[in-house]
Chain A
Amino acid sequence: MQRRKFIKRATLATFSGIIGSEIVYGLNIPQGYRPLALQEPDPFKLFGKDAEMVVLNDKPWNMEAQAYLLDDRVTPNAKMFLRNNGLVPENIDAQKWTLTIDGESVVAKKSYTIQELKANFKVFTYQLTLECGGNGRSEFDPPAKGNQWTIGAVSCAKWTGVRLRDVLEDAGIKDDAVYIGYHGADIHLSRNPDKESISRGAPMAKALQDETLLAFQMNGKDIPLAHGYPLRLIAGGWPASVSGKWVNRISIRNKVHDGAKMGGTSYRVPCNTVAPGEKVADEDMCIIESMPVKSLITYPKSGAMLPEGKKLNIRGHAWAGELEVTQMEYSIDFGATWQICSIEKPVNRLAWQHFSAEVDFPKKGYYEIWAKATDSQGVAQPMLLPGWNPKGYLNNACHRIAVKVT
């Protein structure tokens, strides 16, 4: 046990070293020189990621899947996108980790160890869709600032933890509570300890939902380090930035939380639609809440060639933020006609749904299969880019794959 602990600590230390911890005598290193260890860290090994995941950024780490990698019904760690705003925290000791509930609207400030959370509250497991608010950003014109996500910043893993509601109620929620804001242990890119990389949150109604968890497990195991070990807030169906990693404090606020990346253009879109490239005043920006309806064809991989007369079985997932997907369609003629796909009910609220269809091609040629989901309020995915916004959020344009019948 001791030995195992030692090895675990040593691995963590190596880990944080690779990610960019303080270099001893760093000031003496000639300017422009990067120590060998920092040049080519293998993020795939480091984070246990599939070799076909795409690295968008290595400081902080940002990595996305490709459509065909997301074929699993429950997303494994290897294929889960990675979006970090700061540096992965160093020297985590889960035994000593505490979560503090504080803020203007808490009845009594209270702290819990992870063991106390597990022992004092009922544990729940839900499969929850987490999609980065900026998934699809790369398609916006004029281009939007930030990591240029294509389609792979979405996942739907099984998260196990206690309900945030149960813990908040244990500490006590005052009547004037409006919002919760999380605080995590990740390190600001500037390494200034007074700055937080990200500290977002959600209105009380979302915080008190059954499925909003303080999770300590992902897919039945400890949460992987890069995904928030040892404790992560999980708020499915909302921009994944609401699901704060390495969370050690949750503030019950009497106003909309004002932490890092709650204001300006961060995770906010124009309250009223604007022309592409238009300037938007700060007060005209609204915080993103539920994510829009969207779907992905995860099989086959784009570029499939098949002989004439052969049927093609396609499949994928669809999700709709707080809502459910009620209809799934595909088109092989650029949206002129649409056919129905069969779609399963979600395994629980806020989990993605699986669709499939058998596609018949009338003759040889180049085809694109377009997928379109419609949510329970009758809102469907657009074929072209949805409304432009300064940071390129919420692109839910239909997914397309190319097929050749020969």
Chain B
Amino acid sequence: MKNFDNLKNDFERARRVVILACTVVVLSSLLLIYLIIDPRLSAFKNAAPQSEMVDIPLDNDNNDTIENGIHVRTGFVDAPGMIETVQNCTNCHSSKLVIQNRMNAERWKATIQWMQETQNLWDLGKNEEVIINYLVTNYPPKKKGRREGLGDIEWYTLKE
């Protein structure tokens, strides 16, 4: 009786192995056939990103929202020429680089020319004047003299 049980168990085990082997063979054949039909797996690749695209809302917070007169995404002051500046000046570098620089029209022109010659900036066409006007109006140079006083001091009690 014990031997018969052992034999039964052996048969059961063998049956499982055969089923597993068959499943593996069938699955790999299916995969192989699919790979022959579509070797670049294009059906899978296309599916995901396209469904993601649909999810992107056009009026997203991160688009061109203005809060308290500031373009949230870039920090630019909302004024005529702002959108042209965002579109042409924040592709390669950060808006932070624009905002921290204070120049007159002539020097902005020279800077744009330098970016066109060395940094792959495109021809700005009639937007060039719009952008320069926006920058000199909203970010004018500030007189600093030969040395400024110490400003923005945060006073604290020194503990030693």
Residues of A within 8 A of B (CB): 24-25, 28-34, 36, 39, 55-60, 139-143, 145-148, 188-190, 192, 195, 260, 264, 300-306, 312-313, 368, 383-385, 397, 400-402, 404
Contact assessment for B119 and A190 in the assembled complex, using a CB-CB cutoff below 8 Å: yes
A287 to B156, CA, bound (A): 43
A36 to B26, CA, bound (A): 42
A94 to B96, CA, bound (A): 33
Would you call B16 an interface residue if the criterion is a C-beta within 8 Å of the partner chain's C-beta atoms? no
Contact assessment for B102 and A143 in the assembled complex, using a CB-CB cutoff below 8 Å: yes
Q: Which B residues are in CB contact (< 8 Å) with A148?
A: 100-101
Contact assessment for B111 and A59 in the assembled complex, using a CB-CB cutoff below 8 Å: no
Q: How large is the interface on B (under 10, 10 to 19, 20 to 34, 35 or more residues)?
A: 35 or more
Contact assessment for B143 and A141 in the assembled complex, using a CB-CB cutoff below 8 Å: yes
Contact assessment for B62 and A55 in the assembled complex, using a CB-CB cutoff below 8 Å: no
Known A143-B101, A147-B100, A313-B160; further 5 A-B contacts with Cβ < 8 A: A32-B64, A188-B119, A302-B154, A303-B156, A304-B156
- A31/B87 contact (C-beta < 8 A), A58-B94, A143-B101 known: yes
Contact assessment for B145 and A305 in the assembled complex, using a CB-CB cutoff below 8 Å: no
Q: Is the interface of B mostly helix, strand, loop or mixed?
A: loop
Task: Pick from B3-11, B17-25, B53-61, B130-138 the stretch touching chain A.
Answer: B53-61
Q: Which A residues are in CB contact (< 8 Å) with B52?
A: 25
Contact assessment for A143 and B103 in the assembled complex, using a CB-CB cutoff below 8 Å: yes
Contact assessment for B153 and A402 in the assembled complex, using a CB-CB cutoff below 8 Å: yes
A139 to B60, CA, bound (A): 39
A302 to B96, CA, bound (A): 26
Q: Which A residues are in CB contact (< 8 Å) with B97?
A: 56-57, 59, 147
Would you call B15 an interface residue if the criterion is a C-beta within 8 Å of the partner chain's C-beta atoms? no
Contact assessment for A145 and B103 in the assembled complex, using a CB-CB cutoff below 8 Å: yes
- A404/B147 contact (C-beta < 8 A), A29-B56, A143-B141, A145-B103 known: no
Q: Which A residues are in CB contact (< 8 Å) with B160?
A: 313
Contact assessment for A385 and B147 in the assembled complex, using a CB-CB cutoff below 8 Å: yes
Contact assessment for B155 and A139 in the assembled complex, using a CB-CB cutoff below 8 Å: no
- A145/B107 contact (C-beta < 8 A), A57-B96, A404-B155 known: yes
